[in-house]
Amino acid sequence: MKITKTQLKQIIKEELERESEEGKSYYHESLTPEEKRVEDLCNELAKAVYEMGESNPDLTDTYLRVFRALKGAGLSLQAMAIMA
């Protein structure tokens, strides 16, 4: 069975929403309010990127800003790249 790009986007969107809702009920209960806010915003960002589709090179500085903030918070970008 083949699926269209639109159908794939819808499936991804539904899965992200389901995952987000499931997580709200019992997962990550130990997060601080600030960490929870980052989690929620990252979920929103992921949905927006999937909906956007093809990336625009004009967004490079924006992406770098996010990566630099994550690195500054102690996240290993190299480890994350390997997992991606």
Residue 19 is predicted with a pLDDT of 72
Residue 18 is predicted with a pLDDT of 76
Q: What is the mean pLDDT of each run of 10 residues along the chain (84 residues)?
A: 80 78 62 92 91 92 94 92 86
The model carries a pTM of 0.62
Residue 24 is predicted with a pLDDT of 57
- Please give the Cα distance from 84 to 67 (Å, whole number): 14
Are the C-beta atoms of residues 13 and 51 closer than 8 Å to each other? yes
Crossing angle of helices 33-52 and 5-26, rounded to 10°: 170
Give 21's DSSP letter.
Answer: H
Residue 22 is predicted with a pLDDT of 59
